[in-house]
Structure 1
Amino acid sequence: MSAATETAPATPTQHEAHDPQMTGALEVTETAAAKIREIRETEAIESTYALRVKVMGGGCAGFQYDLYFDEPVEGDNHFESQGVKLVCDQMSFMYLMGTSIDYVEGLQGAGFKFNNPNTTGSCGCGSSFSV
């Protein structure tokens, strides 16, 4: 008989990308991943930093998105999509669950676009939303 090894249960406030319940909870498209990698390289961002996806109060419609490279902290939700490490605080994750982040370029400019199934509306500027 072989001895079974026990693994410590995951902290309730920290979810890893390999958790089957979290699959698709927060992801980036191939195009967005390529742009994120380009920015990381151009700005010489440390490899220990992840892309923080955050929701903040404000904007025309009540909430706005924020993206920046940051060190993960205790209590963050952790995801990996298209080879990009993402982190999100618990409060922001309530508004972001199921969101896909894309990068678009067009005549009106270029930027990251959030495809968030939890929103009930957005404003004309495209960078704020309501729930």
Structure 2
Amino acid sequence: MFEVTETAASVLKDYFTQNKIEPVSPVRVTVMSGGCSGAALGLTLDQPGELDQVFEEGDLKFVIAQDLLEEVGAIKVDFVDAGYRSGFAITSEKPVPGAGGGCSSCGGSCGM
């Protein structure tokens, strides 16, 4: 239902170490607004709430709203090392609410 790759976990641990964040903050998987492709899953630092599900992966704690988890199904957090385009890739079993939206933010240059 929730998976974090070794690469993603390593990058997150390095982030906490480099930024001297102690104790290590929980990482929330949440819906972030996007550009041309609409909403997508993203990561932010946050404390768990009453309506959250918490997953522990080694020293890391991940927090996801229960209703989001039910809506998108299984979630995988990975890190893609692609030079200047490197970053986290958070995928889900089902579409993210609000994903695949319009192109209003890019002036209509997106192919439809």
TM-score with structure 2 setting the length: 0.71
Q: Which has the larger radius of gyration?
A: 1
5+ residue gaps in structure 2? 101-112
Contact 1:45 1:69 (8 Å CA) reproduced: no
In 2, are the aligned partners of 1:33 and 1:83 still within 8 Å (CA)? no
Is 1:65–2:41 an aligned residue pair? yes
Q: Is 2:75 aligned against 1:104?
A: no
Q: Label 1:51 to 1:62 Cα distance change in 2 as closer, same or farther (>3 A).
A: same
Unmatched runs of 5 consecutive residues or more in structure 1: 1-24, 121-127
Paired residue for 1:47?
23
1:100 Cα shift?
Answer: 0.9
**Percent of residue pairs identical:** 31
Supply the RMSD in Å over aligned alpha carbons.
2.6
Is the 1:29–1:82 contact (alpha carbons within 8 Å) kept by the matching residues of 2?
Answer: no
Q: Return the structure number with greater helix share.
A: 2
8 Å CA contact retained: 1:55, 1:65 = yes
Moved over 4 A (4+): none
2:61 and 2:30 mapped to 1: Cα distance? 14
Counterpart for residue 91 of structure 2: 115
Total equivalences in the alignment: 100
Distance 1:86 1:47, change over 3 A: same
Aligned equivalents of 2:59 and 2:74: distance in 1? 18
TM-score of the aligned structures, taking structure 1 as reference length: 0.63
Matches within 5 A, 1:25-40: 25-40=1-16
Q: Is the Cα contact below 8 Å between 2:41 and 2:91 reproduced in 1? A: no
